[in-house]
Amino acid sequence: MQRYRLYVVTAGEDIFRTLEHDYPSDHEALAQAARLRTDDHAVEVWTGERLVARLGEDFDFGGHA
């Protein structure tokens, strides 16, 4: 098990929510991040100083300004 930090990030690049949890692999941490991701929030997955991935980098507000 390894400790991961999941940052839910707004379109303005503000951290909306932070979760810390132990997962057996990057794959499991990314699966949790995918469940947290919305059209209004991206999720960054970190372990230690390593950025594993960012899900939802491009925000889609459905054409709303």
pLDDT tens track for 17-54: 999 999 999 999 999 999 999 888 999 999 999 999 99
Q: Name the pLDDT band for 62 (thresholds 50, 70, 90).
A: very low
Q: What is the pTM of this model?
A: 0.84
Question: What DSSP string describes 1-65?
Answer: -EEEEEEEEETTS-EEEEEEEEESSHHHHHHHHHHH-BTTEEEEEEETTEEEEEE--S---TT--
Domain ranges for the chain:
2-55
